[in-house]
Amino acid sequence: MTFEIIGFDQVEGVAVITLNRPEKLNSFNQTMAYELQAALDHCMDDRDVRCVVITGAGRAFCAGQDLEEAIAADAADIEEHVETKYNPIVRKIRAIKKPVIAAVNGVAAGAGANLAYCCDIIVAAESAKFIQSFINIGLIPDTGGTYFLPRMVGMHKATALMMLGEKMTAQEGKDLGIVHQIFPDAELMDGVMGLGKRMAAMPTKGLGLIKKAINMSLVHDLDQQLEVERDLQGRAGRTYDNAEGINAFLEKRKPVFKGE
């Protein structure tokens, strides 16, 4: 797939989407938002893609909305802008039945931070920073931030991050449980590709069902969630990869998962 702005590569089952407006710190203009949506649709549909990595070109991950484009736009259309540019990205990332990894290579601000937060696993370069910068321009967090962040770090920490709009380091993010792993800056892409290829060789259907169960757990009580686990375990237990995993264990060999 080729795009005007974003980069898109497929390597050994891993699709790598690179936000690529480095001179604007990969901030979202309209084209980049729609291209990211199209790339996510492709990842959703292509059976050869078994893991997705989202990263940024240059020194930033993503600085949120391109504010030059925002100031030129009609303020009356903000709701439409959020609904057509950002909300579909969050919905698609949560709906893809495959792991989506954010490889945060530098600053992630505004919608850029929340793009990372709606991914399944976040890895970061040592120098990466996360900022709920919305309030610094009088806005509230969007792109799922007010949904995910309180669930990730608790109400009061989320409120402080959102209200104060201060920079959070990768290490602080790791201490809070947001960042799974930190790599030296120069080793981030090798590190995330190692993780991505490992996940692309795992039981993809099972990973997708874990993701579905987690999505549902965010709004369910225990009884509802126990029913979800029963039903999804039934689906996981009828996959090729479940049989392969059990057979490989009993035959004392390494499993070869097909993602089916």
Residues within the interface to ligand LHQ (CB under 6 A): 24-25, 27, 63-68, 70, 78, 81-82, 107, 109-111, 131, 133-134, 136-137, 139, 142
- Tally of helices (H runs) and strands (E runs) in the chain: 12, 10
Helix (H), strand (E), coil (C) string for 3-70: CCCCEEEEECCEEEEEECCHHHCCCECHHHHHHHHHHHHHHHHCCCCCEEEEEECCCEEECCECHHHH
Closer residue to ligand LHQ (CB): 84 or 225: 84
Nearer to ligand LHQ, 71 or 250 (CB): 71
The SS3 assignment for 178 reads coil
> 106, 66 in Cβ contact below 8 A?
no
Query: Strands 100-104, 51-56: parallel, antiparallel or unpaired by DSSP?
Result: parallel
Specify the residue, 69 or 244, whose C-beta has the smaller distance to ligand LHQ. Answer: 69
The minimum distance between CB 142 and ligand LHQ, in angstroms, equals 5
The residue (of 54 and 209) whose beta carbon lies closer to ligand LHQ is 54
Residues 6+ apart with CB under 8 A from 222: none
CA distance 259 to 239: 9
Nearest-approach distance from CB 214 to ligand LHQ, in angstroms: 25
Q: Would you say 199 and 192 are in contact if contact means Cβ atoms under 8 Å apart?
A: no
Q: Which is nearer to ligand LHQ, 8 or 130 (CB)?
A: 130
Q: How far is the CB of 107 from ligand LHQ (least distance, A)?
A: 5
Closer residue to ligand LHQ (CB): 46 or 77: 77
Nearest approach, Cβ of residue 156 and ligand LHQ (Å) = 23
Q: Output the smallest distance, CB 20 to ligand LHQ, in A.
A: 14
Closest CA to 211 of 235, 179, 243, 192: 235
Q: How far is the CB of 42 from ligand LHQ (least distance, A)?
A: 24
